Amino acid sequence: MNQIRFPKNFACLEEAYSEYAKSKAVILPVPYGGTVSYGKGTEKGPSAIIKASQHMEFYDEELKKNNFKAGICTLHTLKSEPKPEKMAESVYNNCRQLIKDNKFIVMLGGEHSISSGLAKALKEKYKDLSVLQLDAHSDLRDKWYIGEEDKSPLSKYSHACVMKRIREFCSKTVQVGIRSMSEEEIPESKRSNIFWAKDIYNNNKWFDKAINLLSNNVFITIDLDVFDPSIMSATGTPEPGGLLWYQVIDFLKQVFKKKNVVGFDAVELAPNNDKSCDFMAAKLIYRLIGYKF
């Protein structure tokens, strides 16, 4: 395909490579920011990623192929719901149908609370599902504030609770890049498999151990704040001491090689004036689609 840019979908793909029936992968934009508690703007994440993707090269220099040839259909934006539990339910219901159609779902956030809906839908099909979380935060609180702490109610469906909710129906989880956690999360963290950023940032000796803790069928949820703020500043809650591009890419390449990745998401992009963050997120998504297909 000539590098002609005209449709406004992910990667500007012409219909032959973006039609739903022919596409193996689907991009599901979920611009939800209902439980953001610090930096705002995650509702703008999906559109920023899609816009940035329209400036990528089709050819993947690492994989030496055009990843788009698997077919990548960009779906209509999922409508936001007024309550986070309703948003998670909406994601779940929409993803169930996509899974029935045998589509590989790539969900774009939006904040992290949406991930439980996709994980739940995948768990129905893949009974042995495990969840690999790349994140700066453990997200194991049982409840947390929706919005400003002194003005808002507590919710079990806050972005700070997403892994707690996922672990209620999927006990096999691996958490990578964690470098921030509250005291109340400690008991739950002891039942998870955490690879702390301070222990892994300068080596890859942990790759096999982390991968071996996963089941065959894996859902990957990527909070973009897993990356160090020096290369990914556009997140709602950036934390120092994060991972870098090649470390994350090299690890995920091995996950895709050794396990059956059944879907993934990229969440928590809060676009700022640094377009490199939007582009990095788009490039990450395109690369992972290439790893899958």
By C-alpha distance, which of 121, 79, 126, 81 is closest to 98?
121
Q: Which two tokens stand for residue 249?
A: 């890419």
* Cα–Cα distance for residue pair 163/138, rounded to 1 Å: 7
Do the Cβ atoms of 101 and 24 come closer than 8 Å? no
150-159: long-range contacts (C-beta < 8 A, 24 or more apart)? 155/35, 155/84, 155/85, 156/85, 157/35, 157/83, 157/84, 157/85, 157/87, 157/88, 157/113, 157/116, 158/35, 158/37, 158/84, 158/113, 159/35, 159/36, 159/37, 159/111, 159/112, 159/113, 159/236, 159/268
Give the number of other CB atoms < 10 A from CB of residue 152. 14
For residue 111, how many C-alpha atoms fall within 13 Å in the half-sphere facing its CB? 28
Burial of residue 258 (number of CB atoms within 10 Å: 0-12, 13-18, 19+): middle
Return the pLDDT at 149: 62
**Per-residue pLDDT at 153:** 84
Extract the residue ranges of the chain whose pLDDT is less than 70: 1-6, 147-151
Contact present, 68 and 1 (Cβ < 8 Å): yes
Q: How is residue 8 written in tokens?
A: 């406004």
Predicted pLDDT at 146: 82
Helix (H, G, I), strand (E, B) or coil at 216: coil
- Look up residue 276 and give its amino acid: S
The answer to whether residues 185 and 138 touch, using CB atoms and an 8 Å cutoff, is yes
Residue 37: what pLDDT?
A: 78
- pLDDT tens-place string over residues 31-44: 999 888 787 999 99
